[in-house]
């Protein structure tokens, strides 16, 4: 793995994209101490102050369909949860599709970007943000965000977490590559799924509905048993607990 480190950058995802365009090889890891324009999902910004968090993005060049590649975001979530456990002992859980939560509050968000060409992947950039040593959060996210330090009651060494997450990503990526889907990993994933067996609200653009989360299937979709007994596969989007 090639590691590219910045004290400061706009966004490690944007940086990783640029490096990928310039030919950076598969496995390049981009890490920054501080992001000045950290990006969240749905056009939101991501608070990324210096010294307290992990802001990292990977350049991957798998040969597979965009559909398969989109599942790499689930692999990243799994790698975070297992990497955090190994390096800190904290048992974070996955909130489908790829947030990591501790005691119901978010400690990690993942933004995956990709570039495709005629249904072929040029590169995929999973970007991972982990709240590590923050002592508090801005008013707007205070109720829903936490950090590893706040949960563990002690400071956490970021380099250990980065190494553990990267190691776990490699481990799960190799299993994923055997089938290019989640069939070999759905049990592992569902074991860490905070939504499992719980009531969820599916925010489907065609209409919201409630149901019980049954876990993901081999395609990475969340299976939800609706109140009428039918099971729906939620391909992408949001569920709220």
**Residues binding ligand BTN (CB under 6 A):** 11-13, 35, 38-41, 44, 46, 55-57, 99, 109-111, 127-129
Rounded to whole angstroms, how far apart are CA atoms 96 and 143? 19
Residue 179: CB minimum distance to ligand BTN, A: 27
Residue 149: CB minimum distance to ligand BTN, A: 17
State the burial class of residue 62 (Cβ atoms within 10 Å of its Cβ: 0-12, 13-18, 19+).
middle
Residue 118: CB minimum distance to ligand BTN, A: 27
Nearer to ligand BTN, 68 or 73 (CB): 73
Residue 107: CB minimum distance to ligand BTN, A: 11
Question: Which runs of consecutive H residues, i.e. helices, occur in the chain?
Answer: 12-21, 66-69, 72-88, 148-152, 158-179, 186-191
Nearer to ligand BTN, 40 or 184 (CB): 40
User: In this chain, which residue has its C-beta nearest to ligand BTN?
Assistant: 109
Nearer to ligand BTN, 162 or 202 (CB): 162
Nearer to ligand BTN, 194 or 211 (CB): 194
Identify the helix (H) or strand (E) that includes residue 30.
strand 28-35
Rounded to whole angstroms, how far apart are CA atoms 230 and 234? 13
Q: Say if residues 108 and 40 touch (Cβ distance below 8 Å).
A: no
């Amino acid at each position: 793995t090639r590691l590219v480190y910045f004290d400061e950058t706009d966004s490690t995802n944007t940086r990783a994209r640029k490096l990928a365009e310039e030919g950076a090889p598969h496995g390049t890891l981009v890490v920054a101490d501080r992001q000045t324009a950290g990006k969240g999902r749905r056009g939101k910004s991501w608070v990324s102050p210096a010294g307290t968090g992990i802001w990292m993005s990977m350049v991957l060049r798998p040969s597979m369909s965009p559909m398969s590649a989109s599942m790499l975001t689930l692999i990243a979530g799994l790698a975070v949860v297992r990497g955090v456990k190994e390096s800190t002992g904290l048992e974070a859980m996955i909130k489908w599709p790829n947030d990591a939560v501790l005691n119901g509050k978010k400690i990690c968000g993942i933004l995956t970007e990709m570039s495709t060409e005629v249904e072929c992947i040029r590169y995929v950039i999973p970007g991972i943000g982990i709240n590590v040593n923050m002592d508090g959060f801005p008013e707007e996210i205070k109720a829903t965000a936490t950090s590893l330090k706040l949960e563990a009651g002690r400071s956490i060494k970021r380099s250990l977490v980065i190494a553990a997450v990267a190691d776990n990503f490699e481990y799960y990526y190799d299993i994923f590559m055997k089938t290019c889907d989640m069939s070999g990993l759905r049990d592992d994933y569902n074991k860490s799924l905070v939504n499992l067996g719980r009531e969820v609200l599916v925010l489907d653009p065609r209409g919201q509905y409630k149901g019980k989360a049954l876990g993901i299937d081999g395609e990475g979709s969340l299976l939800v048993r609706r109140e009428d007994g039918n099971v729906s596969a939620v391909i992408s989007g949001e569920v709220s607990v």
